[in-house]
């Protein structure tokens, strides 16, 4: 297994190097090499400590970057607290009582400010923490492009509008990703982030009460669908359990691998927005790619890295735009 992991790492590193120019824009490799040489090591060590204490934190930190980049761009607006007339994105419907990991980012920022004051942006911390979280759970490693700066505002309305909902249709997901400059290939690859993490019953209750949504490509003679639904129903019996958690990937919930796509082929994606990738794919092109990922983990890893690089470049602030926040929760005075 160790040999296979390093093979994946070498393959992904090679692909990443060739695509940096495509997705980097104003972002750079080794941006803090001179100004804060230990920046990436500080982030990596403290993400590792946080994930050892709470394995679910890996998925939470990865999700933070998704929810940041889909609103205004990758500018750490998701980290800002409500202040004055500015309402925090943390209070938006997709985020409230759901996003977590803010304290981990706070502590990393504190250490970086001690080492290199007003040098490393909160948005770059999010990008590095997401990469390290994936790698710590057995996923690919890639060189994060850096040089982002932090926003001067947040968008509560944008968080409610642009973050994909767990009950989204396939058409809705495609439109949502297109608004961010991401295509169907990116949608399929980035959805694989659901190979780790958990979701609240509130996020998939509709999945339980709509049994006809499932579609698979084999005869389910052993009634796996009904068994899977009974498991979910036992966890989410009534509204008092809306905040109960279930793994997004029941097979290997602690590992970043390709089992998410195997689940989709079996009709066992947890969220409606997972299952529609198959059930509403009338052309069959998405199903074809899902099948490829299900049988080839390395291919999934390569494409996931490429899409993460692309997503990490959405509407970034660089140069003299924005600022380097001293505290990720507040704009500098």
Domain definitions of the chain by residue range = 28-163, 170-311
Between helix 285-295 and helix 272-279 the angle, nearest 10°, is 110
| Rounded distance between C-alpha atoms, residue 72 and residue 74, angstroms | 7
Task: Give me the chain's average pLDDT, please.
Answer: 88
Buried b / exposed e along 271-305 (16+ C-beta atoms within 10 A)? bbbbbbbbbbbeeeebbebbbebbeebebbbbbbb
Report whether 216 belongs to an annotated binding site: no
Q: Is pLDDT above 90 for 19?
A: no
Lowest mean pLDDT among 93-107, 142-156, 221-235, 245-259: 221-235
Average pLDDT, stretch 36-59? 98
Report whether 164 belongs to an annotated binding site: yes
Does domain 170-311 fall into CATH 1.10.420.10? yes
Q: Is pLDDT above 70 for 214?
A: no
Of residues 199 and 206, the one with the higher pLDDT is: 199
Report whether 89 belongs to an annotated binding site: yes
Average pLDDT, stretch 117-131? 98
pLDDT of residue 225: 56
pLDDT of residue 333: 86
pLDDT band at 50 (very low <50, low <70, confident <90, very high): very high
CA 190 distance to own-chain centroid: 7
CB distance 262 to 251 below 8 Å: yes
Average pLDDT, stretch 253-278? 93
Strand residues in the chain grouped as ranges (E):
198-200, 245-247
Distances (CA, A) of 17 to 23, 185, 187: 11, 20, 22
Average pLDDT, stretch 16-26? 48
pLDDT of residue 25: 58
68-72: long-range contacts, CB 8 A cutoff, minimum separation 24:
68/123, 68/126, 69/180, 69/311, 69/312, 69/314, 70/162, 70/163, 70/164, 70/176, 70/180, 70/314, 71/154, 71/155, 71/158, 71/159, 71/162, 71/163, 72/151, 72/153, 72/154, 72/155, 72/158, 72/315
Report whether 318 belongs to an annotated binding site: no
pLDDT of residue 226: 62
Lowest mean pLDDT among 32-41, 238-247, 259-268: 238-247
Report whether 194 belongs to an annotated binding site: yes
Average pLDDT, stretch 155-168? 96
Lowest mean pLDDT among 151-155, 188-192, 200-204, 320-324: 200-204
pLDDT of residue 237: 73
| Rounded distance between C-alpha atoms, residue 176 and residue 311, angstroms | 13
pLDDT of residue 250: 86
Contacts of 136 (CB under 8 A, 6+ apart): 47, 48, 51, 58
Average pLDDT, stretch 42-48? 98
CB distance 305 to 12 below 8 Å: yes
pLDDT of residue 92: 98
pLDDT of residue 161: 97
3-state secondary structure of 213: helix
pLDDT of residue 207: 74
pLDDT of residue 121: 98
pLDDT band at 6 (very low <50, low <70, confident <90, very high): very low
Q: Is pLDDT above 70 for 58?
A: yes
Q: Which of 67, 83, 225, 259 is catalytic?
A: 67
Q: Which secondary structure element, helix H or strand E, spans residue 82, and what is its range?
A: none
CB-side neighbour CA atoms (13 Å) of 312 = 30
Q: Which ranges constitute the DSSP H helices of 39-183? A: 39-53, 57-69, 102-115, 122-136, 156-162, 170-179
CATH class of 28-163: mainly alpha
Active site residue 282: no
């Amino acid at each position: 297994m160790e040999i296979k992991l390093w093979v994946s790492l070498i393959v992904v590193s090679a692909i990443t190097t060739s695509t940096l120019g495509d997705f980097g824009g104003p972002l750079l490799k080794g941006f803090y090499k001179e100004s804060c040489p230990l920046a990436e090591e500080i982030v990596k060590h403290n993400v590792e400590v946080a994930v050892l204490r709470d394995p679910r934190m890996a998925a939470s930190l990865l999700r933070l970057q998704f929810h940041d980049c889909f609103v205004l761009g990758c500018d750490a607006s998701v980290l800002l607290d409500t202040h004055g007339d500015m309402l925090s994105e943390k209070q938006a419907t997709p985020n409230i009582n759901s996003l977590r990991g803010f304290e981990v980012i706070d502590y990393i920022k504190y250490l970086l400010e001690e080492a290199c004051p007003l040098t490393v942006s909160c948005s770059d911390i999010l990008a590095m923490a997401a990469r390290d979280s994936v790698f710590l759970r057995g996923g690919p490693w890639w060189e994060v492009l850096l040089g982002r700066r932090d926003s001067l505002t947040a968008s509560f309305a944008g968080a409610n509008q642009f973050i994909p909902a767990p009950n989204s249709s396939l058409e809705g997901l495609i439109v949502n990703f297109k608004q961010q400059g991401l295509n169907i290939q990116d949608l399929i690859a980035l959805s694989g982030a659901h190979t780790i993490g958990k979701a609240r019953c509130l996020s998939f209750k509709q999945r339980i009460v709509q049994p006809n949504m499932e579609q698979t490509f084999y005869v389910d003679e052993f009634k796996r669908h009904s068994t899977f639904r009974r498991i979910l129903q036992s966890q989410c019996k009534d509204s008092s359990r809306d905040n109960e958690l279930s793994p997004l990937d029941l097979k290997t919930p602690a590992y970043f691998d390709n089992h998410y796509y195997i689940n989709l082929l079996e009709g066992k994606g947890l969220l409606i927005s997972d299952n529609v990738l198959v059930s509403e794919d009338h052309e069959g092109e998405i199903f074809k790619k899902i099948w490829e990922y299900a049988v080839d983990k390395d291919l999934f890893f390569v494409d996931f890295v490429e899409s993460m690089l692309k997503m990490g470049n959405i509407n970034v602030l660089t140069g003299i735009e924005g600022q380097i926040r001293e505290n990720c929760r507040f704009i500098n005075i």
